[in-house]
Amino acid sequence: MKISPLQKARYEYKPKLPLMLRGGIAEISVSEGAETKSVADCEKIQALFPNTYGKKEITFKKGQNTSTAKKQVVGVILSGGQAPGGHNVICGLYDALKSTNPENVLYGFKNGPIGLIEDNYIIFDDEYIDQYRNTGGFDIIGSGRTKLETKEQFAIVAEVCKKHGITAIVIIGGDDSNTNAAVLAEYFAAKNTGVQVIGCPKTIDGDLKNEDIECSFGFDTATKTYSELIGNIGRDANSAKKYWHFVKVMGRSASHVALECALQTQPNLCLISEEVSAKKMSLSQIADYIADSVADRAAKGMNFGVAIIPEGVVEFVPEFSVLISEINELLAGSKADAFNALATWAEKYAFIEKGLTKASMDVFSILPQSIQQQLFLERDPHGNVQVSLIESEKLFSALVADKLAARKKEGTYKGKFSPLHHFLGYEGRCAFPSNFDADYCYSLGYNAFMLIQYGYNGYLSKISNLSKPASEWIAGGMPITKMMNIERRHGEDKPVIKKALVELDGKPFKFFEANRATWAVETSYVYPGAIQYYGPAEVCDITTRTLALEKE
């Protein structure tokens, strides 16, 4: 296999652990804190998790290791979308496990949770693991989106664990995967299997965070990668002075990624879905808001700019989400076949016109035809419109073009508007992890093994104090049930980890809000450049603006 010089150099990088985890396993002791309660709906969560609810918060410290010496056979899975640093979670877990006892074994179940059901695995050894140290991607064992959530699946997993003598499972995933980790932990405890479950917080979206988890891994590297590209685009815009760039960034429903990229690059505009929702902004209001900045800059002779659009924004526009549900209804079950059988777009349009309410038709009719057609082409396995596939960067630039054309007619706008479109998502999910993510992930994995060794079940590996140098990070664990509440999902009340959206009264948004009017009209771009892996700590080890502002 041919490897790049950077990959080769990264193999040699020694991730930094918190001081309390350094110096060898024999010196890591545990300190138990207070019993915990879930963030909401305590009684209901307790009733659903009688064996794992209310456990104590725990912190590791330097001292005599008092865990019971027993052979550990651990299984690990990667779940959901790729996030930089996943390989290092596995490397940290492997190193801790092997340095505790060389007889310990680490199984990697392949292609996500399905690997546990299909009993599809590899057993890690030094030679294999060393090819993945400090690298991006999830290709070490692959990932997948199958959910582990039913009793039948849990029974199969229990059988697989029994077959291999597995004592613990580590689930590296987002809020849904860690919710399922908690349910699996409860199942194992109720059945007295003796198998422990530990979760690790992953997702580039940054929406798995709360008072215990300061950030999910991968967010740092992905946002640095996107910000490098947005900075480059800004510099190109400021050089050529002829294009408006509409950049959609990943992040699912939450706008943490968009906000972080805006804090790093200071574009002319950044939509924040949570604000759109709070202010109940319509498509037309959003288009006017963008058009104002285009016109103000044009008046100063600047017919160029950069706008960041979070991928989930259209879901938060009230009239658009009503339109989506009406379309889902319109095409439910066999009605989709009748629609698809229509030969021309004109016939389809007439069908749509008949099926939608007037209010939704008003919204539908102002959309560019390409977006109208996307709403009917891209369906998920349940038959619903996949909102993340809607090219909202093109939608908004088309709506803004209409607004500007109208203003031109009125004589209130005289500029030129040439939009270009970009979507930044997959480009950032498998980048070489930044030093922050390399260190954070290795620590999460190392720490996950300490939780296993000390016998904890249903815990999330927790590394905190992350805005400080790695030596000052604090390692410990938090019962997953503490992060749960009851939410309505698919028509049922379900215990889930609360998803974190951007807080409009939080410091990162407040900072953005205080500066955006200037950024909208001036050209204040910042060019972060590429992630640096070697060099001074103030260049290589800094984390996100979001985390820095939150911890100010």
Which residues make Cβ contacts (< 8 Å) with residue 491, sequence separation at least 6?
Answer: none
Instruction: Determine how many CB atoms are found less than 10 A away from the CB of residue 262.
Output: 31
Tell the smallest beta-carbon distance from residue 218 to ligand FBP (Å).
7
Which parts of 166-208 fold into alpha helices (H)? 175-190
Among 75, 115, 137, 251, binds ligand FBP (CB under 6 A): 251
Among 57, 95, 186, 205, binds ligand FBP (CB under 6 A): 205
Q: Which residues of 506-515 are buried (b: 16+ CB within 10 A; e: fewer)?
A: bebbebbeee
Q: Which stretch binds ligand FBP (CB under 6 A): 244-252, 283-291, 300-308, 336-344?
A: 244-252
Tell the smallest beta-carbon distance from residue 253 to ligand FBP (Å).
9
What mask of x and - would describe binding to ligand FBP in positions 2 to 41, judged by CB under 6 A?
----------------------------------------
Which one of 95, 175, 176, 205 is the catalytic residue? 205
Q: Residue type at 263? A: L
For ligand FBP, how many residues bind (rule: CB under 6 A)?
A: 13
Tell the smallest beta-carbon distance from residue 428 to ligand FBP (Å).
9
Using alpha carbons, list the distances in angstroms from residue 268 to 83, 136, 140, 232, 404. 28, 31, 40, 14, 17
Alpha carbon 142 to its chain's center: 17
Q: Does the protein bind ligand FBP through residue 252 (CB under 6 A)?
A: yes
Cα separation, 222 vs 257, whole angstroms: 8
Phi, psi dihedrals of residue 121, rounded to the nearest 5°: -150, 165
SS3 154: helix
Catalytic annotation present for 205? yes
Q: Does the protein bind ligand FBP through residue 250 (CB under 6 A)?
A: yes
User: Residue length, the chain?
Assistant: 552
Residues 299-338 touching ligand FBP, rule: CB under 6 A, are 311
Q: What is the DSSP string of 101-132?
A: -TT-EEEEETTSTHHHHHT-EEE--HHHHHTS
Terminal Cα distance for the chain, rounded: 45
Using the minimum distance from each CB to ligand FBP, give the nearer residue, 160 or 258: 258
Among 75, 80, 234, 433, binds ligand FBP (CB under 6 A): 80
Using the minimum distance from each CB to ligand FBP, give the nearer residue, 224 or 252: 252
Tell the smallest beta-carbon distance from residue 124 to ligand FBP (Å).
23
Q: Does the protein bind ligand FBP through residue 174 (CB under 6 A)?
A: yes
Only one residue has tokens 């959910």, namely: 147
Among 81, 206, 267, 433, binds ligand FBP (CB under 6 A): 81
Instruction: Determine how many CB atoms are found less than 10 A away from the CB of residue 50.
Output: 11
Among 76, 129, 181, 204, binds ligand FBP (CB under 6 A): 204
Using the minimum distance from each CB to ligand FBP, give the nearer residue, 176 or 296: 176
Using the minimum distance from each CB to ligand FBP, give the nearer residue, 382 or 409: 382
Q: What is the DSSP string of 317-328?
A: SHHHHHHHHHHH
Q: Which of 380, 271, 353, 361 is nearest to 322 (CA)?
A: 361
Q: Does the protein bind ligand FBP through residue 388 (CB under 6 A)?
A: yes
Q: Does the protein bind ligand FBP through residue 502 (CB under 6 A)?
A: no
What mask of x and - would describe binding to ligand FBP in positions 404 to 433, judged by CB under 6 A?
-------------------------x----
The residues carrying an active-site annotation are: 205
Q: Which residues are near ligand FBP by CB under 6 A?
A: 80-81, 83, 174, 203-205, 250-252, 311, 388, 429
